[in-house]
Structure 1
Amino acid sequence: MKKVKVLIVDDSAFMRKLIADFLSEDVRIQVVGSARNGEEGVKKIKELNPDVVTMDVEMPVLNGLEALKIIMKTMPVPVVMLSSTTKGGADNTFTAMEYGAVDFIAKPSGPISLDLHKIKTELTEKIVLASNANTKGLVKHSGIGKNSAEVQQRYSKIEPCRYVQPNANSRQLICIGTSTGGPRALQKVLSDLPGNLNAPILIVQHMPAGFTKSLASRLNGLSDLSVKEAEEGDILQNGTAYIAPGGFHLTVARSGKNLVIHLEDSPQRNGHRPSVDVLFESIGELKGIHKTAVIMTGMGADGKKGLMTMKRNGEVRAIAESKETSIVFGMPRAVIESGLADEVKNIERIAESILKFV
């Protein structure tokens, strides 16, 4: 079995040792080196050619964000950031995602986390996953999007579901599910949608508590839509995107003429809370509403069962992100291979497809 070669970049000798010890216990991983700052990390990447890099943000000489920019420009390699759960840490995390980081891990208790063992399993799993990430999708280049027709033709065997184009007065809902690589994908899709969109948007992004509020705030500033972290009792409004808060499932129910958000902390589904399946199953119970479901980059199959429920219960159009632009082609693949996707689109064409249906 070929092991995943990992380089650890952190200015704390204690953290470097702790991370290396944890990773070395996994038979799938080989720690090939470590670096004390971003500058040293860039040099070690050239020397050691790792499959994955773990990167701290706050470091002397060259910090993690600046190092990440250099790495993605000169020698793209999957990078997993180790982030603080403070607001500043969350903001840096999303900047790192924009620069090309595959994923992040929230440190349990600050820069020097003595209790790092709490995230040991998550760290090793994310590193193994990152080793298979689509690095081409991480780097912005002018070639992306030119093969959309080819992508759609390749999946033309998928039979579109029976769908009645809604009129301007029809009630409509858009629901989006995504995971690894999702923040960048959401930024692209939401920023391409108009502020006067004739539907509310419900979003599940797999992310821990403490980060979804910062994600919503960031996307709100980059989009003409209103974007917010969903709250218990929110009444759905057109032109507003609601992001499920980390640690809570998001569901929707009728209350008179309104559609109202409910949050629950019931057990995880598919290893996640929030779960895309929980949201989609909830939406599937709503009758008389035209629905557009979108599944984008992410590991696993969360969303597939929920989409099946939606399709059994009423009108829904499903869009899946293509393999070409997915950072991790897990969730979209599950939907496509199940025959549930009506359209398969590169990320920069998904907003266009949404608008075609609403």
Structure 2
Amino acid sequence: MIDDRAKAPAATERTPAPSAADDHYRVMVVDDSSVVRGIITKSLEADPAIRVVASCPNGAVAVRMLPSTPVDVIVLDIEMPEMDGMTALPRLLEISPGVKIIMVSSLTRRNAEISLRALSLGAADYLPKPATGLGSADQFRLELVTKVKAYAARAPRGRQVRPTTVPSAAQPARTQAPARPVVLRKAAIDRPSVIAIGSSTGGPQALAEVLKSIGPGVTQPIVITQHMPPTFTAILAEHMTRYAGRNAAEAVDGELLQPGRIYVAPGGFHMVMEPGASGTVVRLSDAPPENSCRPAVDPMLRSLSAIYRQKLLVVILTGMGYDGLKGAKVAVEAGAALIAQDQASSVVWGMPGAVAQAGICNAVLPLSEIGKAIGRIARGEAL
């Protein structure tokens, strides 16, 4: 990890402010390392839709600058002198309630815990810094640009800028607008024996809302693949245990699926299932990434559909790319039911949009209705 705190300037660096007619997505970068700020700025401004309008060495400078520097997205480091990211976060949101803040930190358990806690305090997303530094971290830079554009498009001012595509590591650049009307699949839905959920960008917040609202009486195991790096998935599961009212943990290779429990695919491993003498066995695989992801949703769904067929309920939540589409097609052909999050409530309508536009969904619902729908189906009631 790059550390040049001694070289961080005392004053704010900034590019010339754009005119009122400027249609770029406007970003503030806050990090105590001038090298990191420079790399992030260069990476963002390589995209013609983005302009970095402020570069700040700590949270205190960002708080002072924000009232006079309207921005759509703030890229905010966690560990900084004078005022760290967690101290600055609520103050920045108080100044500009509509701004989208992406937390960036080194990949440690402490910072992963802080990043996920920041989501509950109003941050939009997080991005771990690669341990090898940012200079050659192509995946980090691609994900950073992708997330900045996705969130900027949802910021109050960002909704008024020109339409733009959102590139993804999991798919070629393309517009988020639906290419064709959503046609629902009319088919009977069986009471499931297992519930499978796939999510990516915006997923931690979406999962929290869904799992909180499923309601009592749902005893089926819930298996979740959320695109996340190692360390983050373990902490995500710990948070789920607190807010979902049921035990959640990273999946362990060889364990059996148990009623009422939540299993989260560990970062860096695909989570798949296989039949065993005493029940369904969890297997963790370090097979190559699928859709540029590991864990990926597709292998989870393929393995579940082979075991449960029409006794499987699949839910695809907000996320970039189209991971989950191929697996969902296999699951639906085997008889599974499928729910996707709608475009209006998705941070990015990539993954749910892909299955919705494929015509294989039983329902496409706002996030606020998905947990209740899962609860009804799990109890054997009508959708």
Among 203, 212, 221, the residue aligned to 2:242? 221
Give how far 1:196 is off: 5.3
Alpha-carbon distance in 2 for matches of 1:123, 1:277:
24
Alpha-carbon distance in 2 for matches of 1:134, 1:356:
34
Among 79, 85, 96, the residue aligned to 2:118? 96
Alpha-carbon distance in 1 for matches of 2:337, 2:124:
29
Determine the structure 2 residue equivalent to 1:57: 78
1:253–1:259 CA contact under 8 A, matched in 2: yes
1:72–1:99 CA contact under 8 A, matched in 2: no
Q: TM-score, normalised by structure 2?
A: 0.79
Among 349, 361, 373, the residue aligned to 1:329? 349
1:193–1:224 CA contact under 8 A, matched in 2: no
Deviations 1:156-179, CA, capped at 9 Å, x for gaps: 97344422443xxxx611000011
> Is 1:193–2:214 an aligned residue pair?
yes
Among 364, 368, 371, the residue aligned to 1:348? 368
2:79–2:105 CA contact under 8 A, matched in 1: no
Give how far 1:44 is off: 2.7
Deviations 1:68-119, CA, capped at 9 Å, x for gaps: 223334422222211222111011110122223232221223xxx7454323
Among 96, 101, 109, the residue aligned to 1:79? 101
Determine the structure 1 residue equivalent to 2:63: 42
What is the SS of the residue equivalent to 2:359?
Answer: coil
2:215–2:375 CA contact under 8 A, matched in 1: no
Give how far 1:18 is off: 3.3
1:174–1:291 CA contact under 8 A, matched in 2: yes
Q: Partner letter of residue 357 of structure 1? A: I
Q: TM-score, normalised by structure 1?
A: 0.84
Determine the structure 1 residue equivalent to 2:259: 238
Q: Partner letter of residue 7 of structure 1? A: M
Q: Matches of residues 1-358 of structure 1 in structure 2 within 5 Å?
A: 3-75=24-96, 76-109=98-131, 114-118=133-137, 119-133=140-154, 158-166=183-191, 172-194=193-215, 197-287=218-308, 290-314=311-335, 316-358=336-378
Give how far 1:289 is off: 5.3
Alpha-carbon distance in 1 for matches of 2:181, 2:81:
52
What is the SS of the residue equivalent to 1:260?
Answer: strand
Unaligned runs of 5+ in 2: 1-21, 158-179, 379-383
Deviations 1:250-292, CA, capped at 9 Å, x for gaps: 1111012400111111111111111111111111211455111
Task: Summarize the Cα distance change of 1:54–1:346 in structure 2 as closer, same or farther, 3 Å threshold.
Answer: same
Task: Summarize the Cα distance change of 1:133–1:279 in structure 2 as closer, same or farther, 3 Å threshold.
Answer: farther
Task: Summarize the Cα distance change of 1:187–1:252 in structure 2 as closer, same or farther, 3 Å threshold.
Answer: same
Unaligned runs of 5+ in 1: 137-154
Give how far 1:28 is off: 4.2
What is the SS of the residue equivalent to 2:136?
Answer: helix
Q: Partner letter of residue 313 of structure 1? A: A
Alpha-carbon distance in 2 for matches of 1:124, 1:59:
22
Give how far 1:195 is off: 6.4
After the TM superposition, list the runs of 4 or more consecutive aligned residues in structure 1 that deviate by more than 6 angstroms.
none
Q: Partner letter of residue 272 of structure 1? A: C
1:97–1:184 CA contact under 8 A, matched in 2: yes
Task: Summarize the Cα distance change of 1:164–1:343 in structure 2 as closer, same or farther, 3 Å threshold.
Answer: closer
What is the SS of the residue equivalent to 1:285?
Answer: helix
Alpha-carbon distance in 2 for matches of 1:134, 1:21:
22
What is the SS of the residue equivalent to 2:144?
Answer: helix
Task: Summarize the Cα distance change of 1:288–1:20 in structure 2 as closer, same or farther, 3 Å threshold.
Answer: closer
Task: Summarize the Cα distance change of 1:25–1:162 in structure 2 as closer, same or farther, 3 Å threshold.
Answer: closer
Task: Summarize the Cα distance change of 1:335–1:220 in structure 2 as closer, same or farther, 3 Å threshold.
Answer: same
Alpha-carbon distance in 1 for matches of 2:155, 2:376:
28
Alpha-carbon distance in 2 for matches of 1:220, 1:91:
14
Give how far 1:232 is off: 0.6
2:257–2:279 CA contact under 8 A, matched in 1: yes
Give how far 1:198 is off: 2.1
Alpha-carbon distance in 2 for matches of 1:302, 1:188:
21
Alpha-carbon distance in 1 for matches of 2:64, 2:279:
57
Alpha-carbon distance in 2 for matches of 1:303, 1:129:
20
Q: Which shows bigger deviation, 256-265 or 94-103? A: 94-103
Alpha-carbon distance in 1 for matches of 2:34, 2:200:
31
